[in-house]
Amino acid sequence: MMMRSLLTGLAVLVAIAMGCGPVQAEDIVCITCHGALPGKYGEPVKLWQGSIHAENGIACNACHGGDPKDAPNAMKKERGFLGAPKYNDVPEFCGRCHVGVLKDYLASGHGRALTRGGPNCVICHGSHQIVKASLELINEKSCSRCHSYERAKLIRGAMQETEGIIVALDKRIAGYKAVGTDTDRLEKELFSQRNRFHSLFHNVDVKRVTAESTQIQAELKKLDTTLKGLDEQGRKRKLAGAVVVAGALLAGLLVHLLRKTFD
């Protein structure tokens, strides 16, 4: 509570510095206004706040256009406001940024079925509370809304193993990052493979998924080898440490004994 004054002061300082930089997401007029509205007009704000877009500073105007700083004109067409896209326009809407995903989706069974009642992006990912993609999106409840879960289950099974490897590698890399190891290359490589893997999600061809998964696992093995190398280096250092500590203790003991000879 008393920290408030310190934090407010800090926030003010930060806000001042930000006057020259990009507008912080929380200050845009979209959130100020819609955040206070009831029901369906205010809900998207709360949902968005829990999203990965919010985590990365991607706010309302990034997708819906409009003016984030000028309240009276925020939703004017002249300011680039796009509104909420219609069902069939959703893939193009999201695909302005997620170019690769759009391409994969349009080539897939789901994409080709779009105009015949097939799923668009928000059916599986949600529209505002979009979280980091994972295999959890392929589940019985979601898929059986339109068809049986059989094939989806096969695809999920084929990908589960690779997903597990990626998650494990991510954790190990984070562990090394937390001790000052330069994990830049490792992180980027994992990210690249993860993206390549996730582009499979939008492709519903089981054979292709299995083949690609095998290739990706080979690349991931290389990362695993690098991390094993780091593990080994860590072990060697600990061993050297044990020797040094033992040496110091031994020296202390010898000095102690030497001291006693002078009493």
Partner 1 sequence: MELLKRLYKWVDVRVGAGEIVEKELTGYLLPRNINAWYSLGSVLLFIFALQVASGILLLIYYVPDADKAFKSVTYIMNDVPFGWLIRMCHAVGSNMMVAVLLLHMLSVLCMGSYKSPREFNWLTGFILFTLVQGISLTGYLLPWSQLSFWATTVATNSANAIPVIGPQLVEFLRGSKMVGPPTLGRFFALHVAVIPAGIAALIGAHLFLLKRTGVSKPPFGQSNTTNQWKGDSYRYEDHPGGIPFFPNYALEDARSVFIYLAIFMAVVFFDPYLFFPKDAFLPANALVTPAHIKPEWYFLANYQTLKIFPNELIGLSVQGAAMTFLALLPFIDRGRERHPLKRPLFLACAIGGLLLWIGLSVWGHYS
Partner 2 sequence: MDNNGRRTFLGACLGGIAAGFAAAVLWPVYRYLAPRSGGGASAKVVIPEKDVPEGEAKFFEFAGASAVLVRKRGGELVALSAVCTHLGCIVQWEKEKQDFLCPCHAGHYNADGVVTAGPPPKPLAKLPFSLANGAITVG
Residue with tokens 């939008």: 202
| 187, 205, 219, 224: which one binds partner 2 (CB under 8 A) | 187
| 135, 187, 203, 245: which one binds partner 1 (CB under 8 A) | 245
Contact status: 240 vs partner 1 (CB under 8 A)? yes
Size of interface with partner 1, in residues (CB under 8 A): 37
- Asked if 73 and 79 touch (Cβ cutoff 8 Å), the reply is yes
Complex with partner 2: residue 93 or 156, whichever CB lies closer: 93
Contact status: 103 vs partner 2 (CB under 8 A)? yes
Q: How far is the CB of 165 from partner 2 (least distance, A)?
A: 18
Contact status: 20 vs partner 1 (CB under 8 A)? no
Contact status: 19 vs partner 1 (CB under 8 A)? no
Q: How far is the CB of 176 from partner 2 (least distance, A)?
A: 17
For residues 156 and 5, what is the distance between their CA atoms, to the nearest angstrom?
Answer: 51
Instruction: Quickly count: other Cβ atoms within 10 Å of residue 167's Cβ.
Output: 13
| Binding to partner 1, residues 23-42 (CB under 8 A) | 24
Contact status: 87 vs partner 2 (CB under 8 A)? no
| Binding to partner 1, residues 153-212 (CB under 8 A) | 177-182
Q: How far is the CB of 137 from partner 2 (least distance, A)?
A: 18
Q: Quick one: tokens of 25? A: 């997401």
List the single partner that 187 binds among partner 1, partner 2, none, CB under 5 to 8 Å by kind: partner 2
Q: Is 117 left (phi over 0), alpha (psi -120 to 50) or beta?
A: left
Q: What secondary structure letter does DSSP report for 116?
A: G
| 11, 12, 13, 99: which one binds partner 2 (CB under 8 A) | 99
Contact status: 192 vs partner 2 (CB under 8 A)? yes
Three-state secondary structure readout of 15-62: HHHHCCCCCCHHHCHHHHHHCCCCHHHHHHHHHHHCCHHHHCCCCHHH
Residue with tokens 């440490």: 241
| 11, 12, 13, 97: which one binds partner 2 (CB under 8 A) | 97
Burial 178-200 (b: 16+ CB within 10 A, else e): eeeeebeebbebbeebbeebbeb
- Asked if 208 and 109 touch (Cβ cutoff 8 Å), the reply is no
Size of interface with partner 2, in residues (CB under 8 A): 23
- Asked if 216 and 196 touch (Cβ cutoff 8 Å), the reply is yes
Instruction: Quickly count: other Cβ atoms within 10 Å of residue 175's Cβ.
Output: 13
Interacting residues with partner 1 (CB under 8 A) = 2-3, 5-6, 9-10, 13-14, 16-18, 21-22, 24, 177-182, 237-238, 240-242, 244-245, 248-249, 251-252, 255-256, 258-259, 262-263
Interacting residues with partner 2 (CB under 8 A) = 96-101, 103, 185, 187-189, 191-192, 195, 244, 247, 250-251, 254-255, 257-258, 261
